[in-house]
Structures are given as C-alpha cells and as structure tokens.
Structure 1
Amino acid sequence: MSAFDPRMTPANGHAAAHELRGVVEATRYVKGTVKTVQQPLVNLSSAPRGERTSQLLFGEAFRVIDERDGFAFGQSLRDGYCGYVIAAALTRQEAATHWVAAPATHLYPKPRLKAPPEVAIFFGSHVRVTSDMGEFQKVSTGHFIPSGHLQPLRARFSDPVGVADMFLGTPYLWGGSSRWGVDCSGLIQQALVACGVDCPRDSDQQRGLGRDIPADAPLQRGDLIFWAGHVGIMSDAETLLHANAHHMAVAYEPLSQAKSRIAANNSGAGQGKGEIEMRRRLDKLS
C-alpha cells in the first residue's frame, strides 16, 4: 500500500500529522487530538458532506487533525483509515474497559429488563464500565447494558465465521460497519478484528492478509475469497458468507453459484467483477 494512499494518510492540505512533516505538503503540522465517538454510528466520508467510505462506532477513538465548518478530519485508531466526520459526533477521549460482543445492545436508563431503553449501540462499540450491577453493567454515560452483551476490552473470539454469522441478514450498505448496515469488507473487518486480527478496511487492502491458497487446493472454514472489489469468507469448503448487493444483505451462498453469477454479471457495486482473483488463508488467530 502506498504511503500516500489518501485513505491512510492523515493529511488534507490544511493540516497534516506531525510525523508527515517533510513528506507531504500542508499549511501546518499537528500532533492531533484523540477524541471518542459519542453517537451509535457516525459516517466517515471522503470529503465534508462527501460519500461514506466507512463508519465509526460508539466509543471508538478518532485522531482529529483538522476541524472546520462543523467537520473533523482525521484518522480512525481502529484501522488507520482517514476521512471526515461530523465534529459534533465526537467528544473528549475516554478510555474503554469493555466492548459490545452482541450484534447490538440497548442502553437502559435503569438496571431493569422492563425499563424502556433509550438508544441502541452495535457490535464492536466500546464502553467504559463504572459499576458491576450483576445482570447489568453501568457505563460512563449513566446507562445500563446487559452483562452478557459485553466482553473485557482484550477478550476475543476464535472463529471469524461465527462472528460474521452474527451479521446474517444485515442490510447491505456501502461503507457500512455495523448490524445497522454493512458492506463486504466491513463484514470481514468486524469478523477478524473480533478475533484479534489487525484488519484494514477495504477489500483491496485485505488482500495482504494471510497467505495464498492454490486454485486447486481444497477450501476450508475461514478462507477469504476475493474478486475485484469484493470479498467473502468461506463457512465450509463449498459455502460463502458475504455481504453483497445481489441479496442486499449478508447471506450464505454456494461458492459455485456466486462464481457463476458474478462472472455472468461482471458488474455492480458490492458484487465484484469477473472471476475469483485470490484466495487467502489465515493460519493463526491471536
């Protein structure tokens, strides 16, 4: 990946990260300020009011490099991805203690099952637990989350397919990263990060994960399959699990059927183009 890939370069002409001094041109160079997302979701865009390229989740950290006209430009600490977010979606940095390990969870005003929840947050969101109430955990916002929906910050799953399966039926959303909506590479990133694998945001970046699988080698659970502009994960030797624009959802599909359909269609955002280009295997999960 080029060092000047704009997706991964914290510079926008007005300002650049201080480590880029002498590398890229900018009016000023700054250390940046790390802030925390305070909304359930916020779009990360290629430009102010531009198209969504990714999303940040509640509690995630974002390094702000430049702020103007109601937008903050910076870099996600999850994956280094750069872009613009609505500045009001950010608040002061807060250290998390737990993350949401359920597809979604509600923030309850009281530690009671029947208390009307005020808002929901999604898988992968970060929270700071301030008090253990038994069946509920009180978090820094003053809300309560069911204890079974949270895991300590360093806890990880061991099966990325099992994680991806939690998103089954989630609507397809270009640039989406949550149960509210997800795209092909967003699904893979969520599944792998939850299993302790550092995973970049976009499918072309994800091609660097793992090792090549020869075209004639049997596939197995957890293998990644790449087309141009598309990625999915094998649930077994014959079945692909992927977020795709054909189903407009996260769906299981026989790999042979997906191959035929994609090759025949040869177009369409989120569906890939042409033949399978790469197969990758992750041998070790941390």
Structure 2
Amino acid sequence: MTDRRLTPFSGRIALDTLRGSVAAEAFVPGTPARIGIPVTDLCPAPGALRDRQLIFGAEVTRIDSRDGWSFVQAMVDGYCGWVSEGALSAPAPATHVISVPATHVYREASIKRGEVARLSLGARLSVLETDAKFARTAEGWIPRQHVRPLDRPAIDPASVAELLLGTPYLWGGNSRDGIDCSGLVQLALRMCAIPAPGDTDLQREAFGDFLPEGTEPRRGDLFFWDGHVAMACNARTLIHANGHTMSTAYEDIRACLTRIAASGEGRFHGIKRPSFDSPQISRG
C-alpha cells in the first residue's frame, strides 16, 4: 500500500516521478518554493488538522494548489501535504541555520529597534553578510552567535535535543514553540546532518536492527514504542517530548519503561542505534 505521507500526489495532480504508478489528472515537474513564515502546519487536506509542521526556510516542491492552499513535498524528508499558500515564498539557497533554541529577526542591526519575527532552532537562512554582531538576511538582522553555517553541522544529537528542554509538547509540532517526540528526534538528527523521517513509525524503520536485549544504552540511542520515540542521554537517562509532562524533559530510563508499560499506552519495541559518522560524537 502506498504511504500517502510520502507520495507526491494530491489526489488530482502528481509529480512526474509517479507516471505509471498513480491515476492522476495531470503530472507536473513541480515548482521549487520555501517556507517564508516562522512555522506552518502541513495538513493531509486543505484546512485539516496537521500531520506535521514545516519551519522557516524549509525547501518544498509545490505540486498542486486550490482554495488558498498548496500541496507540497518537503525536500528534507519527502513528507507531503497541504500548506497555506501564504506560507510559501520564492526559493533562496540557504547558507546558515539557527543553532539556538530560538532567536529574533530584527528590523535593523540593533536589538533596540524592534523585531519582525521569531525563528526556531533548525530554521534555515540565506545570510547576505555578517559583521561583529549580526547576520543580515533579506528578512532582517539576526544575532550572529545564533546562526551557524550549514557546512558545520552539530556533532551530538542528544545535545541538540537538550537545547529544547522545557519546550511545550505539541502533537505534530516541529519547532521551539511546540514539538512532539518524532519532531524532536528528527530535528536533533538533522542538525547533525543525519537524515531522519518525520514520524515515529517511519523512524523505527529507518535505522536498521534493534539492539540485542540487555544492551546498555549509549548517548544518542533511540527507544521506540508504538507511537513514541525517545533519545538516550546516557545509560540511565533519556530525553523526549512527551504527553506525560507535556514538555520536552529528561526521564529515568527504567522509570519511563515501567510507567509506559503500566499505562498500556504503547508496546516497547526496543532500542536502535543510528549511524553516526562523526568520530567526535560523545558517547558518555
């Protein structure tokens, strides 16, 4: 069965890559665009409840449009859905990424002259120039210490996840304003240049075999339940965006396993260890 989340077919118009695979009214090459607002919902149908979110600078391919909505495919993970037409802007090559939990975009190179937007960790930017204090973009000025070149990714996904401690839990959320378990894992891995799907079930399929039962968890290991994922900080503690605390929080691994088992909220599948190419990743 075709997974609609990863199928660039609006039900009417499909990408050219699907010729011969689906019955569409038309096939198109799609047009490039990017998300031009801080965060927007990605929905299974125009006006429906979100599946996920896309944040500023996310590259997409626009496939279909109707009634003020556009059907797009996100370049980062292939996820498809409808976004408000007003969320899209012209494509621009990203050079930098927001590397702190959140930042502001200022009208001028001064923190006293007023802000025009708030951007989340992971937002991608086209930086035009920098000085000692600010990075200038087409949208405004951002504190220089809050951005990092895309060619210098982070090296420890757990440290990225820890930047979002206290972030409110939001089902389908993908930003500092609100995030869910799979959004947290995807963002933490992506900031380290490790590709990851957007949903828990897809992540569970993406990272090879489960570790043998009894293997001691290492920093960065992923714990999978039905509908939930968490990341190890060390052999005793994990971090996850969860509905128990309604936040991104630490939890003792044994206590978490016991709590979820007692609640009957989801079967524990086991632990997976994504492939980390960098030898610099801390495994403490």
Q: After alignment, is 200-209 or 175-184 more displaced?
A: 200-209
How far residue 210 of structure 1 moved from its aligned partner, in angstroms, is: 4.5
TM-score normalised by structure 2 residue count: 0.95
- Are 1:284 and 2:276 an aligned pair? yes
Tell whether the 8 Å contact from 1:195 to 1:285 is kept in structure 2 after alignment: no
Checking the alignment, whether the CA contact within 8 Å between 2:183 and 2:198 is kept in structure 1 is: yes
Could you tell me whether the CA contact under 8 Å between 2:104 and 2:119 is conserved in 1? yes
TM-score w.r.t. structure 1 length? 0.94
**Aligned amino acid, residue 16 of structure 2:** H
Aligned residues: 277
- Contact 2:207-2:275 within 8 A present in 1 as well: no
**TM-fit CA distance, 1:57:** 0.7
Provide the identity percentage: 41
Residues in 2 aligned to 1:218 and 1:60: alpha-carbon distance in whole angstroms: 36
Aligned CA RMSD, in angstroms, stands at 1.2
Q: Which residue of 1 aligns with 2:36?
A: 38
Q: Is the 8 A contact 2:58 2:76 kept in 1?
A: yes
Indicate conservation of the 8 Å contact 1:209/1:282, yes or no.
yes
Is residue 239 of structure 1 aligned with residue 237 of structure 2?
yes
**What is the match of residue 177 of structure 2?**
180
The alpha carbon displacement at 1:89 in A equals 0.8
Q: Give, in whole Å, the separation in 1 of the partners of 2:215 and 2:127.
A: 46
Tell me how far 1:118 sits from its aligned partner: 2.1
Query: Are residue 201 (structure 1) and residue 198 (structure 2) matched?
Result: yes
Q: Following the alignment from structure 1 to structure 2, what is the Cα–Cα distance between the partners of residues 94 and 40?
A: 15
Residue 160 in structure 1 maps to residue 157 in structure 2 = yes
Q: Contact 2:13 / 2:63 at 8 angstroms: preserved in 1? A: yes
1:116, distance to aligned residue in structure 2 (A): 2.0
Q: Distance in 2 between matches of 1:97 and 1:281?
A: 29
Closer/same/farther in 2, CA of residues 283 and 9 from structure 1, 3 Å limit: closer
Letter matched to residue 152 of structure 1: P
Q: Per-residue deviation at 1:49? A: 0.9
SS in 1 for 2:86: helix
Structure 1 spans left out of the alignment, 5+ residues: 268-272
What residue is the counterpart of 1:116 in the other structure?
114
Contact 1:111 1:133 in 2 (8 A): no
